[in-house]
Structure formats: C-alpha cells, structure tokens
Copies of this chain bind each other. A is one copy, B any other.
Amino acid sequence: MATGRTHRPATRSRGIPEATVARLPLYLRALTALSERSVPTVSSEELAAAAGVNSAKLRKDFSYLGSYGTRGVGYDVEYLVYQISRELGLTQDWPVVIVGIGNLGAALANYGGFASRGFRVAALIDADPAMKGKPVAGMPVQHTDDLERIIEDNGVSIGVIATPAGAAQQVCDRLVAAGVTSILNFAPTVLSVPDGVDVRKVDLSIELQILAFHEQRKAGEEAASDGGPPAAAARKDSADQGPDGDVPAVMPA
C-alpha cells in the first residue's frame, strides 16, 4: 500500500489535548518576554492578550497542566515558564540534524530561534559533494554518506528535511532507519513513515495558497457590494457554483 501515514486518530497525549500542546510554545514565548521585563505575575486576561488567544481557552489549557495559578492574583511568571518548559521537554538538550543545505537549509541553520529553546544543531548534511566541508553557520557541511553515523554518534532523534521534494522520502527513510523518531519536513511531499514516528510539515506554498483563497473571496465580496476596484491586480471572475462544467480544463501547472 505505501500509504502516507499521516492522519491523527485523536491521540490525547498524556491527557493533554493536541490543540493545547500546539499553543504551549505560544504561551511560553509571551511568558519569556514578561520574564525578561521582570514582571512577577500575570493574569489570564493579560497573558491571553499577549499570546493572541481567548482567556478562557488559556485557563483551560493551563488546567491540563495543573493548578498553577492563584485566584485573585494570576500566574507566577517564572514558575509558569518552568512548568511549560518542562512539559514541552525543553529542559533537556535536543540535538537536531538538518538535511539539505540549500537556501532554506542554510536559513534554518542560521536561525537563532532553535538554539534559544534547547535545540542544538548537531550537524548539517547535504548530498552535494561540492558542499562537503563548506562552512554554513559556522559549521562544516557533511556528506549524506555519513548520515547514519552522525545520527548515532550524536544521539539525534529529531531531523529536519529541507531537501528538494524528490529526495525527501529517501532521506526520511534513512533518518528513520538510523533512529530518528521526529521529523520536521519542509519538502513539498507527503512522507510515509512507520508508526511511532511523528512528522510535522511546513509548506510555504500551501500557506500562500490559503491566503490567496481568502483574498479572492474578499475581492469578490467587495466587487459585489462596493463598486470601487481597489488596484491593479483585481481580476475576479467568480460566477462560481456551476455544478455542471462551465469551462474547459486547462491550467498552468
């Protein structure tokens, strides 16, 4: 079958809802900023505003971690920073490898947000022999041939794939075989992995396409009610909703 195993059967990890886990880093960032300003306590309302979420949601999220607040006062910033960090596993060191040192891979290697959160770039790996030894972000690029050894030597369990789409699955297979159990995939492909391996994907093109959808809808609505076409590129053709085909099928890929 070789189906891309990527669906989620509602795994409530350790009782903490997945949606909550996804927001914890957001809270952590806001709390870190408060901590740097030496703010001692914060209310759910204030913190929610800083994180851009509903305050009730924030309180419910925190309730999954435990009762860390004080009624009438709020939450202790430092204590909460520690609790969330611990919950997310950021109190330990996570060696990470980045495979595919093109433009994006290099950008990731230079990205400061990793190191500041307990992640350590253990190695940069590329398939191009010409890249071998070349320093990127103060670190020599290593060749794909040594991938397995690098993973093992450094105890890497998290891998970042920034290769072209064509190479992604092969790289993924090798990473998994070498012991990696979490993968962050930037290649525009559906990765197929065995059970027990987590894959998260970031697709820049998809994000833009979603924006384009909403943008088109806004343009359509505006054109329908208001008469003023805003600027140059406003070619809309809505007339949607034709159950039967209205236009032939040809499209630029």
Which among B5, B11, B195 is the interface contact of A237 at CB below 8 angstroms? Answer: B195
Contact A210 B158 (CB under 8 A): no
User: Oligomeric state, in number of copies?
Assistant: 2
Q: Which of A180-198 contact B (CB under 8 A)?
A: 180-184, 188, 190, 193-198
Question: Residues of A within 8 Å of B, CB-based: how many?
Answer: 132
Contact B25 A94 (CB under 8 A): no
Q: Is A226 interfacial (CB 8 A cutoff)?
A: no
A188→B91 CA distance, assembly (Å)? 21
Q: Is A200 interfacial (CB 8 A cutoff)?
A: yes
Given known pairs A8-B243, A67-B243, A212-B89, the reply for A25 and B110 (CB within 8 Å) is no
Q: Within the complex, what minimum Cβ distance (angstroms) separates A86 from chain B?
A: 8
Contact A4 B243 (CB under 8 A): no
Contact B212 A118 (CB under 8 A): yes
| Residue interface mask A108-139, B partner, CB < 8 A = 1 | 10110110111100000000000000000000
Contact B242 A198 (CB under 8 A): yes
Query: Which B residues are CB-close (under 8 A) to A32?
Result: 253
Contact B245 A215 (CB under 8 A): no
Q: Within the complex, what minimum Cβ distance (angstroms) separates A138 from chain B?
A: 13
